[in-house]
Structure formats: C-alpha cells, structure tokens
Amino acid sequence: MATYKLLLLPGDGIGPEVMTEVEKTAAVLSDLGVAHFEMEKGLVGGSAYDAHGQSISDSDMALAQAADAVIFGAVGGPKWDAVPYDVRPEAGLLRLRKDLALFANLRPAICYPALADASSLKREIVENLDIMIVRELTGGVYFGEPKQIIDLGNGQKRGIDTQVYDTYEIERIGRVAFELARKRGNKVTSSEKRNVMKSGVLWHEVIVALHAREFKDVQLEHQLADSLAMQLVRWPKQFDVIVTDNLFGDILSDIAAMLTGSLGMLPSASLGEMDAKTGKRKSLYEPVHGSAPDIAGKGLANPIAMIGSLAMALRYSFGQGDTADKIEKAIADVLASGLRTADIKGNATSTVSTTQMGDAIATELRKAFA
Ligand code: IPM
Ligand code: MN
C-alpha cells in the first residue's frame, strides 16, 4: 500500500474541526488498505502567531517542503485584526504559496443536483455546473514590488501595489489550463483587463501565442474580467476552464463557488511545477471557504470542501483518481440522501453537525470499497 506524507495545517476558526473530518476520511482509506498517510500537524495563521509570533514558523515551513502534500484548513479572524501586517494570519498562507512555488491554483465549481436549490440562482442555471477556474497564484499584484505605503510629506500618503507578469509566468499557467481542458470540455476562457492594463495586454498576447504553438486542438476564448464576472452569474454553463491572474482569480472564484450553493462545498488545489526527474510536484490543498470565526467551535461547519481537498490530493498529487472519484461519489450520495449541514440547509427540515456529516461520508466511502 502506498504511503503518503501529509502535513496538516488546520489553522484558525473552523479549520481544526473540518480537519478532524479529513483525518477521519484518511483513517478509512488506510483501514481499507487503499492508501496510508503519515500525518504531521503544524500551526499556521493566528494560531501560529499566538504560539510563536509568526504566521508560520520556519520549522513548519521545512515540514511543508518535505511533505508529499500540505492539507490546509483556513486562517484569520477578528482576534488577530490588530497584529502587525507582516505576521497577519494570511501571511502564513501567502508564504506557503510563494516558498513552495505553488503557481497553479485549481478551483473547481461543481453544483451537485441535490444542492441546486441552495444556490441563489435558479436551478436551471446552476444544476450540474462543472467549471474549473485556474488561478495564477504566485505573481501579479499579490507579490509585485514595490508594495508599500509612502509618506508624501504634504499630509498625504500613497499606497502602492504592483501588478506584474513575465512571459514565463503566463505561459506556465496557460499550459496548466490547456492541459486540463483537454481532459474536460476542451475549452479555455482566458480573462484579463487588456483594455486598461499592460499586464493584461501581455497576458492576452502570450496565451494567444501558446495556443497557436501547442494547443490548437483546444477551443480558446477571451473575456475581459468584468464581463466574465457578469457572464458567470448570467449563464455559467458556457464555461469549461477559465484561466486568469491572481487577483481576478481570487474574485471570480468566489463568485463561481457561490453559484454552487455554498462556499462550504468547494476544495482547491495549489500546484507547483512537476519535477521532471521524480514526477513529483509540491502541492497544497485547501477549501475555498475561510475560517468562519462566527460559527467556529459550534459543530456547524460543513466539512465537505475540506474532505474534497483530500480527494483532490489523491487525484493531483498521488495519481489515485479512482479513490478521489470514490470520495466525491460518497459526498454526492450523502447529499442525495438529504443530509445537510446548516450552510446548505435550503428547504431541509433538519441539519447535521460537522462530525455527523464526516461520519456519513466515511460510511458511504466504506460502501464504495465493499
Ligand atoms: C483565497 C483567500 C486568500 C487570497 C487570502 C486568505 C489571502 O481569499 O485563497 O482566495 O486572497 O488568495
Ligand atoms: Mn479568496
């Protein structure tokens, strides 16, 4: 049985409770002889700050570098609103992305038929939706320099962020999108704001050239990011794979996630470059949702996005697509049976706790292997 080294970083808020359900799912797989996980735990975000004044320690970073995959919960909360900017909870996540060079963020938005009524959009618009947002994750305005507030000396200050993209960054994220599209609906929509941004002009140019050179068989469209936001809520099923920069990807993926009924449903994968020699890549898996401090510790959180993140790890890091399919089917079956956590209650008359949802998925998963 294959053994995989996981670093679990539960983080803050609901992070630890949903991570417990990942441990439960992993235990089932190991019990069934499907995969064995060597798991270590670390601190990130506010909990790391409380422990040692940093949003992630160097020793936990070393564990992350050594792991086959990092499984990340969520960070942040009002408790840390006043901590210095450099050690704010989000800085831990950004350091992981940057230091592990996780440039490709895959954010699927899938609407399970059982949940179509939980969406704020009409059932026919979202039912069976299956799109993949490919967000560039280590460049753009998130990391561009200069990034500062300067004092102009006349009673005014100036805040500066820098949007910057080099050819190679656009090419490698474009390649991820085209390759994914070939395994799905064979269509890529590339999005930028080339009508106002030079980085958008370059983005468009590089994607067009890459397509002509290597991916002529894939259908390619371009949409300005504002127009894409509008189309996502108008008729989202027109999309297959969307590729876009770090900031637009952040915003568009929240929209896409909410189409499916709840942020509590969607996992994501952040991937580095494949090492040609070992065939391995650095990776981190996290739910799209945040730390939801308002419901933390109450057993209300939906663990599905977190469990789905383990499924994505099996698919994208461990070559176990079949096992990932089985976890996703267990989730779909539990939803079809009517079980609901509070965030996806819809018209349901009762809801289950985080633990009960995790237990139900574990039971379905055992059945899938029986
Ligand atoms: C996300 C989050 C992060 C981001 C925050 C927590 C830094 O919103 O993963 O989408 O902006 O990338
Ligand atoms: Mn976000």
Residue nearest to atom 11 of ligand 1 (CA): 250
Q: Same domain for 250 and 323?
A: no
CB of 254 sitting under 6 A from ligand 1: no
DSSP string covering 72-136 = EEE---GGGTTS-GGGSHHHHHHHHHHHTT--EEEEEEE--GGGGGGSSS-HHHHTT-EEEEEEE
Q: Same domain for 28 and 96?
A: yes
Do residues 149 and 160 make contact, with C-beta atoms less than 8 angstroms apart?
yes
Cis peptide before 10 (omega within 30 of 0): no
CA distances from 117 to 123, 259, 260 (A): 6, 10, 9
pLDDT in tens, 230-287: 999 999 999 999 999 999 999 999 999 889 888 889 999 999 999 999 889 999 999 9
Residue nearest to atom 4 of ligand 1 (CA): 250
Q: Same domain for 117 and 255?
A: yes
Q: Same domain for 134 and 232?
A: yes
The question of whether 226 is a catalytic residue gets the answer: yes
Q: Looking at the domain assignment, is residue 2 inside a domain?
A: yes
What CATH number does residue 60 fall under?
A: 3.40.718.10
Q: 192 in helix, strand or coil?
A: strand
Q: Same domain for 122 and 209?
A: yes
* Residue of 254, 325, 329, 359 with catalytic role: 254
Q: Same domain for 201 and 229?
A: yes
Domain's final residue, options 241, 262, 283: 262
Domain's final residue, options 230, 262, 294: 262
| Ligand 1 atom at minimum distance from 89 CA | 6
The residue range of the domain holding 53 is 1-103+272-370
Do residues 193 and 200 make contact, with C-beta atoms less than 8 angstroms apart?
yes
Count of structural domains, the chain? 2
d(CA 313, CA 327): 11
Q: Same domain for 163 and 183?
A: yes
User: What is the mean pLDDT of each successive set of 10 residues along the chain, which is 370 residues long?
Assistant: 94 98 98 96 98 98 98 98 97 98 97 87 94 98 98 98 98 98 98 98 99 98 98 97 98 92 90 92 95 97 97 96 97 95 89 98 96
Q: Looking at the domain assignment, is residue 128 inside a domain?
A: yes
Q: What pLDDT, on a 0 to 100 scale, did the predictor assign at position 258?
A: 87
Residue nearest to atom 5 of ligand 1 (CA): 90
* Ligand (nearest to CA of 251): 2
The question of whether 254 is a catalytic residue gets the answer: yes
The question of whether 298 is a catalytic residue gets the answer: no
Q: Looking at the domain assignment, is residue 267 inside a domain?
A: no
* Ligand (nearest to CA of 269): 1
Q: Looking at the domain assignment, is residue 229 inside a domain?
A: yes
- Ligand 1 centre from 319 Cα, in Å? 27
| Ligand 1 atom at minimum distance from 286 CA | 9
Q: Same domain for 245 and 179?
A: yes
Q: Same domain for 329 and 285?
A: yes
Q: Looking at the domain assignment, is residue 329 inside a domain?
A: yes
Do residues 227 and 207 make contact, with C-beta atoms less than 8 angstroms apart?
no
The question of whether 193 is a catalytic residue gets the answer: yes
Q: What pLDDT, on a 0 to 100 scale, did the predictor assign at position 117?
A: 86
Residue nearest to atom 6 of ligand 1 (CA): 90
CB of 250 sitting under 6 A from ligand 1: yes
Q: Looking at the domain assignment, is residue 61 inside a domain?
A: yes
d(CA 353, CA 61): 32
Q: Pairing mode, if any, of strands 3-11 and 219-224?
A: unpaired
Domain's final residue, options 211, 236, 262: 262
Q: Looking at the domain assignment, is residue 82 inside a domain?
A: yes
The question of whether 142 is a catalytic residue gets the answer: yes
- Ligand 2 centre from 124 Cα, in Å? 26
CB of 93 sitting under 6 A from ligand 1: yes
This prediction has a pTM of 0.96
Q: What pLDDT, on a 0 to 100 scale, did the predictor assign at position 338?
A: 94
pLDDT in tens, 55-107: 999 999 999 999 999 999 999 999 999 999 999 999 999 999 999 999 999 99
Q: Looking at the domain assignment, is residue 191 inside a domain?
A: yes
Q: Same domain for 184 and 288?
A: no
Q: Same domain for 117 and 228?
A: yes
Q: Which residue out of 135, 141, 250 has the highest number of ligand 1 atoms within 8 Å of its CB and is therefore the one to mutate?
A: 250
Q: Same domain for 121 and 229?
A: yes
